[in-house]
Structure formats: structure tokens, C-alpha cells
Amino acid sequence: MCQFYTCLKNMWFLCEMSKFWAKNTRLNRPVSPHISIYKWSIPMMMSISHRGTGVALSSGISAFALAALVLPESYPYYLDLIHSMTFGPQFLAFSKFALAFPVAYHTFNGIRHLAWDLGKGFKIPEVYRSGYIVVALTVLTSIGLATM
Amino acid sequence: MAALVRISSVCHRGVSPLLFRSSSLIRPLAVQKKDRDCPYSISAKIHATPSNYAGSGSKAASLHWTGERILSIVLLGLAPVAYYYPGPAVDYTLAAALTLHGHWGLGQVLTDYVHGDFKIKMANAGLFLLSTVTFAGLCYFNYHDVGICKAVALLWSK
């Protein structure tokens, strides 16, 4: 990671960016309103949701890994513990849905991103159409997984 | 992008664009007065990077980008494999792929929102620590506990 960064530092645009941020933070300049005034669109919301689900899932995995290192008992023990505390099958189904939803969304939208990386689907109607398909697939998959 | 292609294709023929192009609406206004000169370096004028910097960087960033996409595809393929062939091999592969995908993803988030040389360095150091602990924890779980695949299966069996 450090070597990668040193390489980047030699590149002009990063140098310019650093200078930009250094100067503007030093001068304490106010930032023009942007996300507080721009009209939200479906692609915008889906984009930040992709990032949001990514960060949430990553945090969840890190929390799980940390718990594995710190907690004394085994996984089945804690799973049975939580299971004995739950408030009925609806709660379990909802928890499965709540877990499956961000995974499904991030996966399907991730595929949409990969299609863009191949250069496909950039026309605005296509962006919206693929977006709706991702949301539909996410909801269906999450419901399907929650019932399993 | 289409505008740039148009201009360069017109320039190579060395013909005044206004005579032969009826749909000149696509081209950005700033360029219209320049294409009369039709120099071969017109695309260099449109591009913002100074020419003395062209090609002087390393391919690290580009390779990183490609690596990110390849890893995403690998992770995508791992999901059905984990379902049909659960076991230690998939458990450890999943641990590595998930951790690295998350590490690179969070790295992009930091690059977007963290500014200032020192803050960037600190944030990336913190991220590196987090990812290391995450991978260690997942490997520990795979070795001493039921493993990722079994954990998901158990969770869903309840």
C-alpha cells in the first residue's frame, strides 16, 4: 500500500490535488452547497447505497472476525444463545432478510458496475433500467433467502 | 468522448469540418473555433494533462484497478462454490477474497473523503491494521471454529 502510494505521489494530478486541499483547508474556505441542493436521482441513490452496503458489510465482517478472536465460546454456542433469546419465527425471518438484503443489493449492483467497467449500459435509459432490475432482484432474492 | 472521436476523424482527412459536418451540435462549443486550424495535437489541447507528464507515471494505479475487478469476479464465482462445495479450502479462500475486496473497497472510500498527506497516511495505516485483524480473525474462526460456510449454513438452519 505504501509503495503504491509513493508511485502515485509522483503523478501530477495527485500533486495538484494535495496542493488544492492544503490551500483550501488553510484558507478555511466555505464549500458551496452540493448534495444539500442538488435534486436526488435514482442512480445517485443507488450509487451511495452501493458504497453504504459495502462499508456496512465490511464492518460486519470485521466485527465478526474480532468477535471470533475475543469471545471465549464457540460459534454454535452463541448462535444457540441468540436463538433462545429470539421472539419467534418472524424475527428470525426478518433477521435473515436484514442480512441478505445488503449482500444481495451489493452483489447485484456490483454486477451492474462490472458491466459499466466493460463499457456497457451507459445510456441514461439503460442506467435506469439496469437500476430497477437490480432493485427488483435484490428484493426478490432477499425474500427468497429469508424464507429458506 | 464521441466529440473527440469526431474531431480527430475530421482532422485526419484535413477537411474543414463545417462544410461536411451537418450535426456539429455534438461538439463542445469551446472546441469549435479550434478545429478550423485542425492541428494533429487538437486532442492534446482538449486533454488537461501537460504533455511533459504524459507516460511518466507508473502502471500501479491501472493494475490496481484491474486487480479490483478480477477479485470482484472471483468473489462472485465463490458464492455458488461455497454453497455446493463447502469446506476448508473454500473457507480460507473466502476469508482472503472477502478481506481483500473489503480492504480495497474501503481504500477507495478513504481516497475519496480523506485529504491531506498526514491524514491519508494515518487512515490507510488504520485500514491496513483493520484488514489484518479481520483476516486473522476469519482464519482463526476457520481453524478453531466451524468455518465460514458452516457458520452461514448453521445460521440459516435456525
Where are the domains positioned within chain A?
45-147
This prediction has a pTM of 0.77
Convert the pLDDT of each residue in B120-148 to its tens digit: 999 999 999 999 999 999 999 999 999 99
Position B75 pLDDT exceeds 60: yes
Torsions phi, psi of A88, nearest 5?
115, 170
Print pLDDT tens along chain A (148 aa): 555 555 555 567 777 888 888 888 889 998 899 999 999 999 999 999 999 999 999 999 999 999 999 999 999 999 998 888 878 878 888 889 999 999 999 999 999 999 999 999 999 999 999 999 999 999 999 999 999 8
Q: Are B102 and A61 in contact (CB under 8 A)?
A: yes
Give the Å distances, CA to CA, from B37 to A80, B32, B153. 77, 10, 68
- pLDDT tier, B12 (very low <50, low <70, confident <90, very high otherwise): very low
pLDDT of residue A82: 87
- Please answer whether residues B7 and B42 qualify as being in contact, where contact means their C-beta atoms are separated by less than 8 angstroms: yes
Q: What confidence score (pLDDT) does residue B26 get?
A: 52
Chain B residues lying within 8 Å of A21, measured CB to CB = 115-116
What is the maximum span of chain B, computed from C-alpha positions, in angstroms?
76
Name the least confident of A56-60, B27-31, B83-87: B27-31
- The C-alpha angle with vertex B97 and arms to A7 and B141, in degrees rounded to 5, equals 125
| Rounded Cα gap, residues A79 and A133, in angstroms | 34
Rounded Cα distance, B137 and B36, in Å = 64
Q: Which of A21-25, B86-90, B92-96 has the lowest mean pLDDT?
A: A21-25
Query: Looking at the predicted structure, is the pLDDT value of residue B44 above 80?
Result: no
The answer to whether B98 contacts chain A (CB < 8 Å) is yes
Higher-confidence position of B51 and A69: A69
DSSP 8-class letter at B116: S
Using CA atoms, how far apart are residues B74 and B97, in angstroms rounded to an integer?
A: 8
Of residues A26 and B44, more confidence is placed in A26
Q: Quick one: cell of B34?
A: 479550434
**CB < 8 Å to B92, chain A:** none
**CATH number of A45-147: 3.30.70.1400, 1.20.1300.10, 3.20.20.70, 1.10.1040.50?**
1.20.1300.10
Q: For position A98, what pLDDT does the model report?
A: 95
Percent of chain B with pLDDT over 90: 60
Which ipTM did the prediction report?
0.86
B113 is an annotated ligand-binding site residue: yes
Across the interface, whether the CB atoms of A79 and B69 are under 8 A apart is answered no
Whether residue A31 lies within 8 A of chain B, CB to CB, comes out as no
Query: Are residues A65 and B141, on separate chains, in Cβ contact within 8 Å?
Result: yes
Residue A139, CB-side half-sphere exposure with 13 Å CA sphere: 5
Domain ranges of chain B: 87-157
Residue A34 is which amino acid? H
Residue B42 has pLDDT above 90, yes or no: no
Q: What is the CATH number of domain B87-157?
A: 1.20.1300.10
Does the beta-carbon distance from A11 to B141 stay under 8 Å?
no
